[in-house]
């Protein structure tokens, strides 16, 4: 929740985002996920919901040569549901691209796989910056591994440049500097 709030406060238009925590998230598993997302968005007054093509519960299928999804059954919902293509990092384009618009093949695409990223975070590793903003990674790791280091200030001062003054650093600062260090390029 802390990370989500940070993301909304720093990267999204504040007057257009509402965070709605669902306590019974098990309801959002399997085929019910997209339907419940649609109902919730509609109840909050949204007139459009954008879902990725791999969103759980879409259940795309063809009926009489027309692509449909499980959401087609719920036409009485007063919301326009748009299904968009997958976004990936292309190592040729060197940026985030849609699989529909990238001229390079799938063998150049690095896919965002949330379960794999979650495993990396659970192991205490920094995910690559092409998958997750470094400040988001730092917040997640500092929350997942609170008090991981006995003396974070001593470690911080030993391996990162500083201005020579006594400073207080927390786990978030440590992970941000570590990510910055990982992204330092060689002068050669």
> Residue 171: what pLDDT?
80
Query: pLDDT class for 177, splitting at 50, 70, 90?
Result: confident
More confident position, 10 or 172: 10
Between strands 48-52 and 80-84, the pairing is parallel
Question: By C-alpha distance, which of 142, 146, 113 is closest to 130?
Answer: 113
CB neighbours of residue 143 within 10 Å: 13
What is the reported pTM? 0.67
Sign, CA torsion 94/96/102/106: positive
- DSSP-derived secondary structure letter, 186: P
Cβ-in-10-Å burial (0-12, 13-18, 19+) of 158 comes to: exposed
Structure tokens, 97: 């691209």
> Residue 62: what pLDDT?
61
pLDDT tens for 23-41 read 666 665 666 777 788 888 8
> Residue 78: what pLDDT?
79
Query: Which runs of E-coded beta strand occur in the chain?
Result: 48-52, 61-63, 66-68, 80-84, 87-90, 95-98, 109-111
Domain boundaries, the chain: 1-83, 85-123, 126-188
Give CA–CA dist 150/73, Å, rounded. Answer: 56
CA 45 to chain centre: 24
- DSSP-derived secondary structure letter, 59: -
Residue 94 has pLDDT above 80, yes or no: yes
> Residue 185: what pLDDT?
56
Summary mean pLDDT of the chain: 79
Distances (CA, A) of 28 to 22, 34, 99, 149: 9, 8, 27, 36
Residue 103 has pLDDT above 90, yes or no: yes
More confident position, 162 or 125: 125
pLDDT tens for 107-159 read 999 888 888 888 989 988 888 888 888 889 889 988 888 877 777 777 777 77
Query: pLDDT class for 9, splitting at 50, 70, 90?
Result: very high
Give CA–CA dist 6/139, Å, rounded. Answer: 9
More confident position, 7 or 75: 7
For residues 14-25, give the mean pLDDT: 76
| Look-up of token digits 């699989």 | 99
């Amino acid at each position: 929740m802390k990370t989500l709030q940070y993301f909304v406060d720093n990267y999204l238009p504040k007057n257009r985002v509402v965070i709605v925590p669902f306590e019974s998230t098990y309801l959002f598993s399997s085929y019910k996920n997209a339907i419940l997302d649609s109902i919730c968005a509609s109840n909050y007054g949204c007139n459009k919901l954008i879902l990725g093509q791999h969103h759980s519960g879409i259940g795309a299928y063809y009926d009489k040569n027309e692509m449909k999804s499980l959401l087609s059954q719920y036409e009485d919902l007063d919301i326009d549901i748009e299904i968009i293509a997958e976004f990936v990092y292309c190592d040729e384009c060197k940026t985030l691209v849609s699989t529909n618009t990238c001229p390079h093949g799938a063998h150049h695409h690095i896919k965002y796989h949330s379960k794999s990223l979650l495993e990396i975070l659970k192991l205490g590793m920094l995910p690559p910056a092409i998958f997750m903003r470094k400040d988001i990674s730092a917040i997640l790791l500092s929350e997942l591994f609170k008090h991981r280091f006995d003396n974070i200030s001593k470690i911080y001062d030993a391996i990162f440049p500083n201005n020579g003054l006594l400073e207080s650093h927390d786990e978030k600062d440590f992970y941000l500097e570590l990510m910055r260090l990982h992204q330092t390029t060689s002068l050669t």
